[in-house]
Structure 1
Amino acid sequence: MKRTGLLLLILSFTVLIVQAQRDIISINRKLSPVLLNNRRLFTDKKEQVFWIVTSNIDSARNYIRTKQLPVTILQEHAGGLLVVSARGSLLDSFVLNQPFVRFVDVPRVPHEELAVGTFDNSLNTINLVHSQYPLLNGVNMVASVKENKPDTTDIDYKARYISTPLSSGLIASHASYMCTIIAGGENSFYTGNGVAPAASLISSNFATLLPDGDNVYKQYGISVQNHSYGTGIENYYGADAAAYDASMINNPGLLHVFSSGNSGNLVSNGPYAGISNMANLTGSFKMAKNIITVGATDSFGNVAFLSSRGPACDGRIKPELIAFGEDGTSGAAAHTSGTVLLLQEYYKEKHNGALPAASLIKSVLINSADDRGTKGPDYQSGYGCLNAYQALQALVKEQYFTGSALPNFTQTFTINVPANARQVKVTLCWTDPAAVANAPKALVNDLDLELVDNNLQVWQPWVLSPAPVIDSLLKQAVRKKDDLNTVEQITIDNPISGTYTIRVNGTSITSGANQPFSIAWQTDTANQFQWQFPTAVDYAQSDADNLLRWSSTFSANTGLLEYSLDKGASWQTIEKTIALSPGNVYWHVPDTCSIAQLRMTINGQVFMSDTFTISPVLPVHVGFNCPDSAMLYWDRIPGITTYRVFRLGQKYLEPISTSSDTSIIIRQPGNNLWYTVAPMVTPNRSGMKAYTINYQMQGVDCYLKNFLVDLDNGNTGELMAEIGTTLHVQRITFEKLVNGSYAPLQSFQPVTTLYFNHTDKNLKDGVNTYRVKIELNNGMVIYSNPESIYYFLTTRYLIYPNPVKVTGYLSVLTKEEPQNTYLILYNTLGQQVLQYRMQQTIEMVPLYGLKSGVYFVMIKKNGKKEFTSKIMVQ
C-alpha cells in the first residue's frame, strides 16, 4: 500500500509539472511571431485591436460576458475569428489561457500557422542528410509521441497523423511542436521542416508513465517512441524503468528516446543527495538501460544550463547523447527520434524491410556523436552531440557488426585503420534484460569490449568514476573494465595504421543462454573538410546573421573564407584568417535574393560549398476573399521577375502557378485554403517560401478588411474602413440607416488608398447604424455588415431590434449599471407575459417563444417606472 501511494504521489506530481510546462508553452504557441517579439503589446494600458481565432465563438462570447471583461467584440468572421478591442494586459491575464483560444494576432500580420521558433537542423547535420539523401524521408515509418495529443489539424503533418484510441483527450501545443520536429512537412514555413518529413505519427497518452502494450507497437508499426516529459528528480531504477527495458527486449526493433529533463541546475537526491548540477534526471523511467536519454545544447553544441545531467542512480553514463534543443531537452529528444527513423528506414531498404536491432541504431548514434566538453564520455554530454550524417555513414559504409555473446566466450571482429587516421572509435551496445525494480545496480548481463592493435596492445573502454563526490564525478574518463554500462566505447587518437581486432567477451551472462550485441566503428582521417551549412537544400536569410558550419580535421588553425554571388566568377572575402576549430562563424548575408556559394581555402586546398539560396522572408497578404475568388498579393523583391504560388495539397505544398506580377486571383478556391509564394531565383530554383496562410483567416472579407465605428467625445461618430486591395474598386461609400433605408454620407472616388475615415456629427438619440458600400468596375456591389453606435442623448435606455424575431433576442442597453431593475413585457390585453432582471449594461433578453404581435415595454427600477415603449414581435 505504501508503494502504491508513492507511485500515485509521483504520478500526480508528474501531471502537475507537465501541465504547468504545457500551459506556458501553449500560450506562447498561441501567439503570432509579432506578438512573441513584442510582448510589450501585452503590457500597454491603452486599448488595441487584436484578432483571436477561437474553436467556438459562442464559448468566447459567453466567457467574455460572464466574466464581464472589458473586451469589445468588433467583428465576427467565418472560421471562429473575432476582431476585438481590449487592453493587451487583460488578454494576457484572462483570455490567452482559455481552451477555446487557438491563436492570437494583431491586424495585418496574418501568420495563422506558427512556425517552430528555435529551428536548427544544421548543428546535428540533419540538413546534410536531407541534402545528400533526398529520398530518405521516413516514408512508411511510424513514430509515437507519448504525451498529450497534438493539434491533428496542423498542416505540417497533414494526412500523416494516425488517430488511435491511445491518444489523450487533451490537446497541447507542446505535442504539436514535438511532432513537427520529428516529422514536419515544411508546409507552414521552412522552420516546420522535420527530421523525417514523410513519416507517420501516432499519439499515446502519458497519463500512465508505463510503456504501451507490446501489441500496440506491433499493430501500428511503431519503431521509435518519443518521450519529452519528466516528473521530479528521481534517482532510482523504478518499475517504470524496468518496464521500458522489457519493452525493448520484447520489441527488438523499437527504440525509446527520452529527454533528460530541464533541471540541470538543481540539487540531486537519492545516492547523489546534496550534489548540485549533477544526477538530476527528471524521472525514474529515464534510468532505463536500453533507452536513449538526450540532453540539450545551444546552437554551438554547448550543453544547455538547464539540461539535466547524469549519472544514473547506479553511476551509469547519462545522458547518452546531447542534441539541439534551445527550447529545452524536449526538442533534443525529438531531433534524435527523427534521426532514428531515418536510420531505420535506410537499414530496412537494404535488408528486405527488416528493422535493425535497437542496439545497432543506438551504437551507431553514440559512436558517430561529436565529442563535447571534457574529452571522452562525461556526465554532462554523455558520448557527445548527435551527428545524423555520420551515423548514417556508418550504415552506408557498413561499419558495424552484430553478434551474440556466450558466457565466458570471446568473439572477435577485425577492422582496418588507414595511415592518415586521426582517431579510431569503437562502440559496443546491447539490449540488456530488465533488472529488478529498485535494484542498486541495473546491469544484468555484463559484456566487455577490448581493442587490440598490430603490436598486440590492448585498449579498454573509457570509464567514469561514479563515486558520489562532485570532484569524482567531474573527473575525466579512464581506461578500465566497465561493469556498469550497457554501452562501452574505446577511442585511440593518432592510431598506427593496420588491422585491429575487436574483442567482445561474455563476462557474466546470468539471464538467457546468450546476449545479442551490436558494434559500430569509424576512423577520422586527417586533412578533411566538409561544409555542413548551408547545403543545397538550405536557405540563408538575406540581410541577417546566418551561422555557417563545417567540420575540419586539418592541423592548420585558420583558413580563408569567401563567398560568390555569380557562380564563382568573382569572390568576396568574409574573413581572411577564420579559425577552423570552432567549426562555425556568423556571416551577415548581403541584402539580396540570389544563388550563392562559399569556399574555404586551407593550405592552398579549396573546399567549395553546395550552391545554396539567399532569400528574404516574403510576406503574403489577402486583397479580397469573395465567394467565387480570392486575391493574394505580396511585395516585389528587387531583381526577381517571377514568383511561384503554392497550395497545400493532400499532404504537402504543391506549385499551382507562376506569375511575373505580385498578385494572383484564385478562381473557385473551394476547400483549398492554404497558400504561399516563393520568389524564383532561377527558372528551376525557388527562394524561401512565405509563411503559409489560410486566406479565409486573414480578417479580409470580399474586399473589406476592417470596418469599425466608435463614439468620440460622447457626441461624434467616427467611422473607419480598410479594404484589402484597390484592384477593380470604383467607389467606396459610407452609408447610414435613416428611416428604414441607407443614405450615403461620404463617397471616395477614385479609390487610391486602402484606408478611409468619416466623422458623423449628426448622431440621433438611440441606435445609429452604418455600413460600407464597395462598388467594383464590373458593376458588382459589396456591402459590409452593419455596425452601430449607441448614443444616449435624452434617454437612459435603448431597445433594439424593432421589430424583433420571435426566435431572437431583444437587446437592451442602459447608460448606467442597472440595480434592482426589471424589464417587463405586456401584451395588448394588458397581461404581463415576461419579466427579466437586468444585471448588465448590455442585456440579451430571450423572448421564450412569444407569439407574434405588438407588446408594450416597461422598465422599472426600485419599483418605479423609468421607461416605456412598444415593440413588434414577428
Structure 2
Amino acid sequence: MNSTIVFLRFTACFLIVIAYQLFGVAQVSPKPISKEYTVPIPRQYTIKWNSTCDRQVLEVYPEIAVLYSYEEYMIIQLDAYHDIHKLPFKACIESMDTSARVLRTESYLPFFDPGVNRLHFIQEKESIAPAIGLKEEIPDSTDVDIYGKITLTNSKKQQVVQHSTDMATIIAGTGNTLENSKGVLPKGKILSFDFRNILPEDPELLRSNDIHVINHSYGLGIEDFYGLEAEAYDAHAFDHNDVLSVFSAGNSGTGKGNTSTYQLLEGRANLTGNFKYAKNVLTMGAVDSFANRLSISSVGPSPDGRIKPELVAFGLDGTSGASAIASGLSAGIFDMLYAEDFTPTNFLVRSILLAGSDDIGLPGPDHKTGYGLINAKKSVDITENGHFRLISDVVGTYVQEIDIQNISDFKIVVSWNDVPGIQLINDLDLKVIGPDGSIHYPWVLKKEADEVLLSQPARKAEDHTNNNEVIDILLAQPGKYIVEVKKNGASVMPFAIAWHIQESNAFSWTWPYGKAPILKGENILRYDKGSASYPTIMAEYMDGQMSVLESDSSQSFVLFEAPKVGDAVRFLAISELDTFFSQWTLVSDRPELQLSSRCIDQLIFTYESEELADSVSLRVWRNGKEDVFRQALTQDRSIIFNGFFDASSYFSVQTQTEGFASLRSVLRPLSNFFAQCLVTSYDGKIDGDKINLRLKLGTYAGVSSIKVRRKTVEGDQAIFSINAPQLLDFSIEDIPVIGYNEYFLEILGFDGRVLYEQSLEFFFVPPASFLISPNVVSSGEEIYFNQNQFKPAKILVYTPTGAIVLEEELLSISEYIDTYQLSKGLYFYRITSIDLKEQFGAGSFLIR
C-alpha cells in the first residue's frame, strides 16, 4: 500500500481520537451491526455521520464510495476486501442500517378506476398544473398520455420501464389513449428522480423546480423497524415542510417482519421499507373498485404502534397506483392553495386529505386501511370552502368555534410534523365540545402485539401515539362546536386543522360524472351521502320506464346492469325530503376502429359498434397535438381522411347520438393498422378488336360507386357502373373506336367525394391493318404507324411523280418517321413485307 495513504489514514484516525479526548465530545455508540445484515457485493450501508467529524476523512479511503447523501445521512458502498466493523472511523458513525436490498416497483396498473376516489372533481380543474416528483425509473416520454410532460434529473443509470410510465399516467395522464388514462392532474408535469437514491432529494433542486410532492411507488423487502431512511425523511419533512413524500405501503400484506414487537404476527407490520414508517410522510394502501382492501396491501402498525398506512386508494394490482393517486391529489391541493396566495405545508395537505377521506370497514381507523379511503371531491370542497386553519404555534390551548346549522356528519383532523424519532415526541391533543356540551375525542387503536387486540374496532380517547388525530361525529346536532388543540411541551409546534361538513339530507352523484357515457353491461354507480340519509336508488329511461336498483345503506355505490346500447338513462336518489337526479347519460359500447385503405395521401377507416349514431368524429394525434374531424354518418360507417401521415400518427373514433357522445375507441398508432390502398391496380390491354380493363381494390369500404367512361374525339360514353360494390376484382370489356381511347376511372364515396380517379390511354388499330396518325403534319413533325399485332414491315414513301424519297423498316408495334428531310407537299406511301412481296396497306399524307 502507498506509504502516503498509510500516513494520512493514521493521521486522520489519530486526530479523531485526540479530538474526542481533548474536547470531551460525547461519543455516540454506533448501532450494533447484526450479522443478519451481511449482504453480497456490492455492499451498501446507510449511515448517519456524526456532525463533529470531518467528512473529508472518507476521501482518504478509495475503497469507500459515498453514493448518495442528505445532510448527515449517507449511503456508502464498500468494496469486497474490507469489513465495515473494522474501519478506523467507526466512531464517526452514529448509527447504520444495511441498504443492500433489492429495489422493486410495486405493481403496474392495467386498469384504472377513477370513480373509487372521486378523481373527476380534481381532474376538471384545468388551471391546476403543478410539477410532481416521480422517484423510480424513467417514464416513456413518447407515450401519448404523458408526451412532453417528463423532465429528467439524472438518467445515467435509469432505464425506461412500463411501471414508471403507468405511474406518470395516473398522476398526470392526458387521457388520450382512453378516458381512463386521464390522470389525477391532466395538466401536470413530471420530474423524474432516480430511486437508487432512497434518501430524500436535495431541497434546492426541489425548490428550483417548484416540486411540493414526490411519489415513491417502490419498495424493498419487509422492514419492520424505524431506520435511518425513516429518520431522514422525517427530518426532511420537518425542515422543509413545503414538500410531502408519498409512499406505497407495499405488496407484502400477508407477510410478517423479523425485528419489531409484531414479528410473530402474520399479516402485520409488513411495510416494504423502513422509510415508510416515517411520521411526517403519507403512506398509502390499496383497495379494489368496491373499496375492499387488497390482501397484498401491506399494513401496520409501525414499530411503536402508529397507524400505517394513513390512507388507501384504488390500486387493482398493488399499492403503487394508490400512492400515485395520493401524490396527484396532494399536488393539486398544494396548487389550489398557492393559487389563493396561501402558503401551504405538508401537514396541512395531509390534514385536508384525512378530513376528506371516507371511513371504510368498521367505524374509525384500523391498522390495515388507516383513516379511510381518499375522496377527492371532499378534499377539494374543504380546500375551496376554506375549511382549514394553519396555526404557526400556540401557548397552551388553541380554541376555535365552528357554527354549523345544516349538518349530518362532522369530521375534523389535526396534523403536524414531529421531530425525527421512532416515537411521538411533540404531542398535541385534539378535542371537540358539541352544542350540547358533549366531549368528543379522537379515534385510537390498540397497539399491543396481540392479533385480537390489534383487530378490535377503534375507540375514542386522547391520542399520544400519532401525529394525525381524527374526530368523527355522526348524526351531529346543529349548533356551535368548540375545537380545542392542546400543546404538550414547550417547543414551537405549528399544526393544521381541517374539517369536512356533510350537510343533512345531502346527496351527490359522483359517477357517472356529468354526461359521461357508461358501458353496456355491469356498471358501478357512485354517490356521496350523509349517515342520516338512505335514499331509494332508481334508473329512469328516456321512454319513461323506471326500475329500482338494489342498494346497501352502508355503501356509497350501487350496481347497475345497462341493458342496451343507445339507451339514454339517468339515475334518481329518492329520500323523504328530496329527489336527486344525475344527468342523462348514454349506454354505449366501445367502438372498434379499423383501417380499410391506406394510400400515400389517403386513409379510409371503418368502425364497428352497436350504436345507431348521427355523426362520427375521428381523433388524430400527432406529436402532442390533437385534431378532431367530424362528419355525418355514412351507409357503411366509413371515415375518409385525406392527408399525409407517418406511422407515428394515432387515431381513434367516437360517435354522437342526439347530443350524447359514445365511449372512444382505443387510440392506436397507424403502425398498428394494416391495409392496402383503395385501388391496388388498374390496367388494361388490347385484345383483338376489344380492350380488356382490370380493376383490383384493396377494400370497398367507403365506396358508394365505381364508374368507367370512354373518352374519344367523338365524346364520352359510360361503359361500366356499379353502386355499393361488394367485390374487390372487376374485369371490364369494351369495343373501342379506331384511334385514341381514354378510359377514365372514378370512385366516389357516400358523401359524393371523389376517392380515386385514374386514366388509361390506348391507340386502337383494327386487326391486320396499319393506322397512320396524323396524316396532316407540319414540316419536321413525326408521323406514327401503328399495328394491332406486330409483324415486320417496310414503308415506302413516294412523290406524286412516283419517286421514292424514303424507305424504312417498321420493327415494333408502333413506329414513326421524321419529316424534317421531306419538303412540303403531298406524299403517298406503301407498307409491304420486308421482301416487298406482300402489301399490307397504302395511303397518303400531307406536309404543310
TM range, normalised to the smaller chain?
0.5 to 0.7
Q: Relative to structure 1, is the Cα distance of residues 427 and 138 closer, same or farther in structure 2, using a 3 angstrom cutoff?
A: same
* 1:642 Cα offset (Å): 0.6
Q: After TM superposition, give the deviation of residue 243 of structure 1 in Å.
A: 1.8
Deviations 1:547-599 (A, max 9, x none): 11122336465615122235xxx132143x64443222221113223543211
Contact 1:298-1:304 within 8 A present in 2 as well? yes
Task: State the structure with more CA Rg.
Answer: 2
Q: Residue 423 in 1 paired to residue 402 in 2?
A: no
Structure 2 equivalent of residue 659 of structure 1 = 632
Q: 1:319 to 1:638 in 2, by over 3 A?
A: closer
481 and 182 in structure 1: CA distance in 2 versus 1, 3 angstrom threshold:
same
Structure 1 residues 560, 159: CA separation in 2 closer, same or farther (over 3 Å shift)? Answer: closer
Moved more, 323-332 or 516-525: 516-525
Alignment deviations for residues 784-820 of structure 1 (CA, whole Å, 9 cap, x no partner): xxxxxxxxxxxxxxxxxxxxxxxxxxxxxxxxxxxxx
Deviation track 1:413-469 (CA, whole Å, cap 9, x = no partner) reads 111233x6333221100122333xxxxx33232222222234554433222121111
Tell me how far apart the structure 1 counterparts of residues 247 and 276 of structure 2 sit (CA, whole Å).
7
Q: Does 1:778 align with 2:754?
A: no
**Residue matched to 2:714:** none
Identity value in percent = 27
Partner of 2:12 in structure 1? none
Cα deviation code 1:696-720 (max 9, x no counterpart): 3323354599xxxxxxxxxxxxxxx
- What's the counterpart of residue 710 of structure 1? none
What's the secondary structure of 1:361's corresponding residue?
helix
Matched, 1:561 2:538: yes
- Alignment partner for residue 664 of structure 2, among 689, 694, 701? 689
Q: How does 1:320-331 map to 2 (within 5 A)?
A: 320-331=310-321
Q: Report whether the alignment pairs 1:244 with 2:233.
A: yes
Within the alignment, does 1:287 sit opposite 2:287 as a pair?
Answer: no
Asked which structure has the greater RCO (Cα within 8 Å, sep 6+), the reply is 1
SS of corresponding position for 1:372: coil
Aligned to 1:222: 211
For 2:533 and 2:460, the matched residues in 1 are separated by 30
Provide the secondary structure at the position in 2 that maps to 1:656.
strand
Aligned with 1:668 (options 632, 636, 643): 643
Q: Deviations over 1:763-798 (max 9, x none)?
A: xxxxxxxxxxxx9963499xxxxxxxxxxxxxxxxx
Paired residue type of 2:420: A
Q: Which amino acid aligns with 1:690?
A: S
Give the corresponding residue for 1:233: 222
1:573 aligns with 2:547: yes
Work out whether 1:471 is the aligned partner of 2:452.
yes
Which residue matches 2:614?
641
Residue identity matched to 1:483? H
Q: Distance in 1 between matches of 2:423 and 2:126?
A: 36
Structure-to-structure mapping, 1:561-640, within 5 angstroms:
561-565=538-542, 570-575=544-549, 578-603=551-576, 605-635=578-608, 637-640=610-613
Matches within 5 A, 1:330-729: 330-351=320-341, 354-406=342-394, 409-418=396-405, 421-435=407-421, 441-454=422-435, 456-509=437-490, 513-536=491-514, 538-542=516-520, 544-553=521-530, 555=532, 559-565=536-542, 570-575=544-549, 578-603=551-576, 605-635=578-608, 637-648=610-621, 651=624, 653-661=626-634, 662-670=637-645, 673-683=649-659, 685-702=660-677, 723=698
Q: CA deviation at 1:722?
A: 11
List runs of 5+ in structure 2 lacking aligned partners: 1-29, 38-42, 47-76, 78-96, 681-695, 707-722, 731-746, 748-754, 761-848
Higher mean C-alpha displacement, 620-629 vs 179-188: 620-629
Cα contact 2:430–2:441 (8 A) shared by 1: yes
Check the 8 A contact 1:160/1:651 in 2, yes or no.
no
Count of aligned pairs? 614
Aligned 8 A contact 1:574 1:587 in 2: no
How far, CA to CA, are the matches of 1:224 and 1:755 in structure 2? 62
Distance 2:441 2:226 in 1: 27
**Aligned equivalents of 1:444 and 1:390: distance in 2?**
31
* CA offsets 1:337-362 (integer angstroms, 9 cap, x no match): 111122222222222xx552111110
Give the direction of change, closer, same or farther, for the CA distance of 1:371–1:626 in structure 2 (3 Å limit).
same
Q: Partner of 1:262 in structure 2?
A: 251
| Equivalent-residue separation in structure 1 for 2:458 and 2:609 (angstroms) | 58
* 1:127 corresponds to 2:117: no
Q: CA deviation at 1:488?
A: 1.1
Separation in structure 2 between the aligned mates of residue 306 and residue 698 of structure 1, nearest angstrom:
39
Q: Deviations over 1:640-683 (max 9, x none)?
A: 12111212256453313333222233222345711211101235
Q: Structure 1 residue 165 and structure 2 residue 154: aligned?
A: yes
What do the CA deviations read for 1:9-41 (whole angstroms, capped 9, x no partner)? 9644323x44xx67xx5xxxxxxxxxxxxxxxx
Could you tell me whether the CA contact under 8 Å between 1:147 and 1:168 is conserved in 2? no
Q: Kindly indicate whether the alpha-carbon contact (under 8 Å) linking 2:593 and 2:653 is maintained by their aligned counterparts in 1.
A: yes
Superposition RMSD in Å: 3.1
Are the equivalent residues in 1 in contact too, given 2:404–2:480 (CA < 8 A)?
Answer: yes
Q: Is the 8 A contact 1:122 1:128 kept in 2?
A: no
Report the Cα distance in structure 2 between the residues aligned to 1:597 and 1:780, rounded to whole angstroms: 56
Per-residue Cα deviation, 1:597-621 (whole angstroms, up to 9, x for no partner): 2112223632101233322101111
Give the Cα–Cα distance (whole angstroms) in 1 for the partners of residues 671 and 438 of structure 2. Answer: 71
In structure 1, distance between residues paired with 2:679 and 2:554: 57
The 2-side partners of 1:638 and 1:378 are apart by 47
- SS of 2:101's partner is helix
Contact 1:563 / 1:574 at 8 angstroms: preserved in 2?
Answer: no
Matched residue type, 2:424: L
Q: CA deviation at 1:150?
A: 1.3
Q: Secondary structure at the match of 1:405?
A: coil
Q: Once the 2 structures are TM-superposed, how far is the Cα of residue 411 of structure 1 from its aligned partner?
A: 1.7
Return 586-595 or 645-654, whichever deviates more.
Answer: 645-654
* Contact kept in structure 1, 2:654 and 2:664, CA below 8 Å: yes
CA–CA distance in 2 between the matches of 1:203 and 1:423? 41
1:447/1:558 CA distance change after superposition, 3 Å: closer
> What TM-score do the two structures reach when normalised by structure 1?
0.66
Q: Does the CA contact (< 8 Å) of 2:132 and 2:331 recur in 1?
A: yes
Equivalent pair of 1:552/1:581 in contact (CA under 8 Å): no
Shift of 1:193: 1.3
Distance in 1, Cα, partners of 2:391 & 2:724 = 82
Within 2, Cα distance between the matches of 1:142 and 1:410? Answer: 37
Aligned residue for 2:114, secondary structure, equals coil
Which aligned pairs between 1:797-808 and structure 2 lie closer than 5 A? none
The one-letter code sitting in structure 2 at the alignment partner of 1:178 is: M
Tell me if the contact between 1:675 and 1:695 (Cα under 8 Å) persists in the aligned partners: yes
- Are residues 1:13 and 2:94 paired? no
Q: CA deviation at 1:755?
A: 11
Q: Structure 1 stretch 212-221 or stretch 319-328: which is displaced more?
A: 212-221
Q: Contact 2:551–2:557 (CA<8 Å) still a contact in 1?
A: no
Matched with 1:302 is 292
Deviates more, 1:340-349 or 1:259-268: 340-349
Q: Distance in 2 between matches of 1:159 and 1:293?
A: 29
Alpha-carbon distance in 2 for matches of 1:264, 1:755: 63
**SS at the partner of 2:349?**
helix
